[in-house]
Amino acid sequence: MKFIVSSSTLYKNLQALSGVLSSNNTLPILDDFLFELDGQRLSITASDLETTMKVSIMLENAEESGVVAIPARILLETLKTFADIPITFSINQETLGIEISAGEGKFKLSGHNSEDFPQTPQLEDTTTINIDASILLNAFNKTIFATGTDELRQVMLGVFCEITPEDITFVATDAHKLVKYRRTDTVSDSSASFILPKKPINNLRSILSDDDTKVKIEYNQTNASFIFENVILICRLIDGKYPNYEAVIPIENSKKLIIGRTDLLTSIKRVALFANQSTHQVRFTITGKELLLTSEDLDFSNEAKERLTCNYTGEDIQIGFSSKFLLEMLSNIDTEQVCLELSESNRAGLVLPVDNPNEHEFILMLIMPVMLNQEN
């Protein structure tokens, strides 16, 4: 088994695969990349049993098809040091000895038996949907920050995808915040829903291009695959029933505040520096056309106040929010202005974009209030 490949091409593809590798694998073979040479096509696979990712590279110079597992860390670290030069791999299929020739350098290492590498899952009885890479990337970027971290609530550890003949919706929540992202320009012939884990989503975020490249998604009850360009990613879905998120979204909100997104974002950043670093609480006091942001940390005698002009309708209100969550939300909205919809000081608030130029995109963010400290 012998082939010549560009060092930069190989490194770029291995970097994409490296996101699948886990630092605490139970099987030593999962620390390897699986190299499969079939004619002029080189396929490389990485797996952690839950997620499997494969890239394909077309070669100009290749001899003797074969398969070998190559230790990932040493290969990545070696390739990282090269300029863009041709590299020759020579693999002895009997001894699994690997020789890498690059310029004047020669490097030898031992490969492993490919039979120990887990088989790539084969999906059966699948449904297919095609979606632009830019839409998928945007959906993941807008939702993943709201996913949960509590291992006891597995269904909240991923992003819920709901596909209908009318639209496709992505939802993430950790019970303190919720994001609902819907597109009406991507539809399916049938309805389905599944929960994607965070790790494959992050793998995809790092390699998806922000353009109209088509991503083919195939899914069934247990797995989903994403196929685009020279990449195939297959992941196991999170098993379980997603919470009824629609039930927690307040419908009647009599108080509406419209304000410049950047102004609010930078003000919260400043005020949050003086907030209690465990609760991150920032108090919103809205009276007439004025928003007063305040925070305090009694342990260190820290306090901050900042006034902003806003467009507000409704009765005066005082409500507390986690600045950490609000900053994440405002950073993931693209419009110049945002609308904060409120009902009561102990009820969830909604953060919505104002005048979204994309008529096919709908985004709603929900944030639960925090109990206000009693004022001195």
323-346 pLDDT tens trace = 999 999 999 999 999 999 999 999
| Sheet arrangement for strand 97-102 | 61-63, 2-6, 86-91, 97-102, 105-110
| Sheet arrangement for strand 231-236 | 66-71, 32-38, 41-47, 51-58, 231-236, 223-228, 214-219, 127-132
| Under 8 Å between Cβ of 159 and 204 | no
CA 1 to chain centre: 37
Please tell me the predicted confidence (pLDDT) of residue 242.
95
- Across-strand partners of 185? none
Q: What is the largest CA-CA distance in the chain?
A: 80
- Across-strand partners of 10? none
Q: What is the pLDDT of residues 106-137, one digit of tens each?
A: 999 999 999 999 999 999 999 999 999 999 99
Residue in 284, 371, 367, 292 with CA at minimum distance from that of residue 332: 367
Q: What is the pLDDT of residues 57-76, one digit of tens each?
A: 999 999 999 999 999 999 99
For each of the domains in the chain, give its residue range(s) and CATH number, in order of start.
2-116 (3.10.150.10), 127-166+187-246 (3.10.150.10), 249-367 (3.10.150.10)
Please tell me the predicted confidence (pLDDT) of residue 188.
83
Residue in 33, 38, 27, 36 with CA at minimum distance from that of residue 11: 33
Please tell me the predicted confidence (pLDDT) of residue 299.
86
Residue in 231, 187, 183 with CA at minimum distance from that of residue 205: 231
Please tell me the predicted confidence (pLDDT) of residue 224.
97
Please tell me the predicted confidence (pLDDT) of residue 58.
96
Please tell me the predicted confidence (pLDDT) of residue 2.
95
The three-state secondary structure class of 184 is coil
* Region of residue 23 (left: phi > 0; alpha: psi -120 to 50; beta: else): alpha
| Under 8 Å between Cβ of 309 and 290 | yes
Whether pLDDT at 374 is above 60: no
| Under 8 Å between Cβ of 340 and 349 | yes
Q: What is the pLDDT of residues 271-288, one digit of tens each?
A: 999 999 889 999 999 998
Residue in 336, 162, 167 with CA at minimum distance from that of residue 244: 162
Q: What is the pLDDT of residues 294-333, one digit of tens each?
A: 999 988 899 999 999 999 999 999 999 999 999 999 999 9
Q: What is the pLDDT of residues 155-194, one digit of tens each?
A: 999 999 999 999 999 999 999 999 999 999 988 888 889 9
Mean pLDDT of 2-12: 96
Whether pLDDT at 375 is above 60: no
Please tell me the predicted confidence (pLDDT) of residue 376.
38
Binned at pLDDT 50, 70 and 90, residue 373 comes out as low
d(CA 268, CA 1): 59
Please tell me the predicted confidence (pLDDT) of residue 147.
96
d(CA 85, CA 70): 20
Binned at pLDDT 50, 70 and 90, residue 25 comes out as confident
User: Alpha carbon of 96 to those of 37, 40, 67: distances in Å?
Assistant: 14, 20, 9
| Mean residue pLDDT across the chain | 94
